[in-house]
């Protein structure tokens, strides 16, 4: 599945990182990045295997809805 973090919207609360550190990490600018394993063109976009279910939990629990999963 495709995962995109909206860097403008992310406030760096870290909820996604706590719920799904396999997919999300906090970058040096305090924004959520996709981890290197799944990252695509830039740090904010990635392709994640469907069976990593915490991806959706991270997206659903982001307080500002900065993560989209398709
Ligand atoms: Fe940012 Fe939301 Fe994660 S604010 S750090 S994308 S939970």
Which residues, including other chains, have CB under 8 Å from residue 2's CB and lie 6 or more apart? 45, 46, 47, 48, 69, 70
pLDDT for position 20: 98
Task: Specify the pLDDT at position 41.
Answer: 86
CA of 58, closest atom in ligand 1:
7
Cβ atoms 67, 3 nearer than 8 A: yes
* Separation of CA 19 from chain center: 10
Counting atoms of ligand 1 from 1, which one is nearest the CA of 14?
A: 5
As for ligand 1, residues whose beta carbon falls within 6 Å of it are: 5, 10-16, 32, 62, 64, 66-67
CA 33 to ligand 1 center in whole angstroms: 9
Residues 17-60 pLDDT 10s: 999 999 999 999 999 999 999 999 899 999 999 999 999 999 99
Residues counted in the chain: 70
Structure tokens at 32: 């959520």
Q: Whose CA is nearest to atom 3 of ligand 1?
A: 16
């Amino acid at each position: 599945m495709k995962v995109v973090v909206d860097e403008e919207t992310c406030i760096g609360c870290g909820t996604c990182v706590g719920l799904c550190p396999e997919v999300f990490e906090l970058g040096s600018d305090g924004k959520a990045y996709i981890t290197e394993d799944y990252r695509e063109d830039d740090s904010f976009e990635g392709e994640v295997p469907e069976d990593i279910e915490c991806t959706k939990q991270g997206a659903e629990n982001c307080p500002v809805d900065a993560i989209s999963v398709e």
